[in-house]
Amino acid sequence: MQEPAAPDCPIRRFEIPRAGGGKLRFTGKIVARHQLMPRDGAPGYAAALYDARRGEAVVELRVMHRPGADPSVMGWRASSRAAALDILLSHDAADDVSVDFDPEDPGFGPAELAARAFDLRARIVRARQALLHLADTLAEAAGEGR
């Protein structure tokens, strides 16, 4: 669901919790946000792009690994909207895909191990495509052609 901010969106204070503790605090307004639900073994993503005071931009990324589980939250400050979107795209979605098998398990034969590795690779590709789609959608909603 794409949600561009209304032109009269109020400027307010935001706090984005970040993994490892600490919060990214800033004053600004939401420019665009978008969410992609988990699908085909790839995680779900929610992202928001903010205009912050002093001409900066902030991008927030929430990774939903499993339904019902708390999302991982990341936030980055940048000099512009375009720079914030570049930072979002520098996130490697492969880190968001969980490995659901133990490659050291002696119970796996070579064919089953290869099939599971192929499935893992396919889920990584889907996650990377989802993140690219998310960034493109935010850019479009914010008027930042990519």
| Per-residue pLDDT at 8 | 59
Per the structure, the count of domains in the chain is 1
pLDDT of the chain, 146 residues: tens digit per residue: 444 444 557 889 999 987 777 899 999 999 999 999 877 777 899 999 999 988 899 999 999 987 777 888 999 999 999 999 999 999 999 999 988 888 888 888 889 989 989 999 999 999 999 999 999 999 999 887 65
Q: Within a domain: residue 4?
A: no
Domain that holds residue 126: 12-142
* Nearest by Cα to 56 from 27, 85, 77, 29: 77
Place of tokens 């800033």: 26
| Per-residue pLDDT at 108 | 84
CA distance 35 to 42: 13
Would you say 61 and 73 are in contact if contact means Cβ atoms under 8 Å apart?
yes
Q: Within a domain: residue 7?
A: no
Q: Within a domain: residue 6?
A: no
| Per-residue pLDDT at 2 | 42
| Per-residue pLDDT at 4 | 46
Q: Within a domain: residue 136?
A: yes
CA distance 126 to 58: 25
| Per-residue pLDDT at 35 | 93
CA distance 43 to 36: 9
Place of tokens 């690219």: 132
Q: Within a domain: residue 2?
A: no
Task: Report how far apart, in Å, the C-alpha atoms of 128 and of each of 24, 45, 70, 131 are.
Answer: 25, 11, 21, 5
pTM exceeding 0.95: no
